[in-house]
C-alpha cells in the first residue's frame, strides 16, 4: 500500500527522503535558478545626457557549495528477505492535521498530479521573474518587500514542518533520515539570517537607480 500511495502522489506513509527532499531542493533552487540581469549597456559620453538604462551593480556572490538535490522519484526501499516495501513511520496526515496552512503542502508535498506540477512550475517562474526585477533594480519597493516576504515565509514554514516531523517521529526515524530533516532546518535557518541584508541591498540598489534617473532628468532640464 505504501508503494501504491507513493506512486499516486497521495499523502500518507512515505519515506523521509521524499518528505524532506522538497525542502532541500527548494532551498537549493533559490541559489541555482536565479535570473541574472543583462549587463548594462556601455554609453559613451556625449554632449546630451543619456537616460540611465540599467543599474551598474556588483553581482551577488556565487552560491555556496551545497549538496546535489536528492531523487524524489525513487520508490521506497524494499526489504530484501521478503521483497515487501518498508513502511516508513512518518504519517503525513498527522502532520497536515497539525499544520494545515504550511507552505510545504503547496510547494513540496510529493505529487504526480500534472495539474499540481504545472501550478508549482508556474509559481516558480513567477517568483524567478520577480527576482530578476529585484536584481536589476526595476522592482518597486512593494515588489521587493513581496519577494523577500515570500522567501521568509517559505523558510519559516519548512523549518516548522521539519521540526514537527522530528518532534513526532524523530525517535523512530532512521539516523540518515533524521539527518536530512536537520540539514533542511539548518539550511533554511541560514537563509533566514541572510535575508535582511539581501532585502536592504535590493532597496539600496533601487534607491541608487532612482537617483541616477532623477539626475538625468535634471540634466535634460538644464539650459
- Model pLDDT for residues 65-80, shown as the tens digit of each residue: 444 444 333 444 444 4
In sign, the C-alpha dihedral spanning 212, 216, 217, 222 is positive
Tell me whether residue 132 is in a domain.
yes
Whether the predicted pLDDT of 28 surpasses 90 = no
Residue 23's pLDDT band, with cuts at 50, 70 and 90, is low
Q: What is the pTM of this model?
A: 0.66
Tell me whether residue 11 is in a domain.
no
All three cell numbers of 74, joined, read: 525513487
If one counts every other C-beta atom within 10 angstroms of the C-beta of residue 68, the result is: 8
Structural domain count of the chain: 1
- Structural domain range at position 171: 92-223
Tell me whether residue 34 is in a domain.
no
pLDDT at 217: 82
Tell me whether residue 59 is in a domain.
no
3-state secondary structure of 199: helix
Residue 107's pLDDT band, with cuts at 50, 70 and 90, is very high
- Model pLDDT for residues 126-147, shown as the tens digit of each residue: 999 999 999 999 999 999 999 9
Amino acid at each position: 500500500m505504501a508503494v501504491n500511495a507513493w506512486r499516486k502522489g497521495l499523502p500518507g506513509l512515505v519515506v523521509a527522503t521524499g518528505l524532506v527532499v522538497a525542502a532541500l531542493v527548494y532551498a537549493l533552487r533559490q541559489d541555482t535558478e536565479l535570473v541574472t540581469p543583462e549587463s548594462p549597456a556601455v554609453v559613451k559620453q556625449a554632449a546630451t545626457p543619456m537616460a540611465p538604462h540599467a543599474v551598474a551593480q556588483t553581482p551577488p556572490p556565487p552560491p555556496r557549495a551545497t549538496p546535489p538535490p536528492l531523487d524524489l522519484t525513487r520508490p521506497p526501499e524494499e526489504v530484501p528477505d521478503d521483497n515487501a516495501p518498508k513502511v516508513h513511520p512518518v504519517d503525513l496526515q498527522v502532520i497536515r492535521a497539525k499544520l494545515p496552512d504550511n507552505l510545504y503542502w503547496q510547494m513540496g508535498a510529493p505529487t504526480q498530479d500534472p495539474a499540481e506540477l504545472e501550478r508549482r512550475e508556474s509559481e516558480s517562474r513567477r517568483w524567478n521573474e520577480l527576482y530578476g526585477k529585484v536584481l536589476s533594480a526595476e522592482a518597486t519597493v512593494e515588489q521587493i518587500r513581496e519577494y523577500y516576504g515570500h522567501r521568509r515565509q517559505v523558510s519559516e514554514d519548512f523549518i516548522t514542518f521539519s521540526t514537527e516531523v522530528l518532534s513526532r517521529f524523530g525517535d523512530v526515524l532512521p539516523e540518515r533520515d533524521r539527518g536530512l530533516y536537520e540539514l533542511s532546518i539548518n539550511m533554511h535557518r541560514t537563509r533566514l539570517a541572510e535575508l535582511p541584508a539581501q532585502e536592504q541591498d535590493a532597496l539600496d540598489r533601487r534607491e541608487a537607480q532612482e537617483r541616477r534617473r532623477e539626475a538625468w532628468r535634471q540634466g535634460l532640464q538644464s539650459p
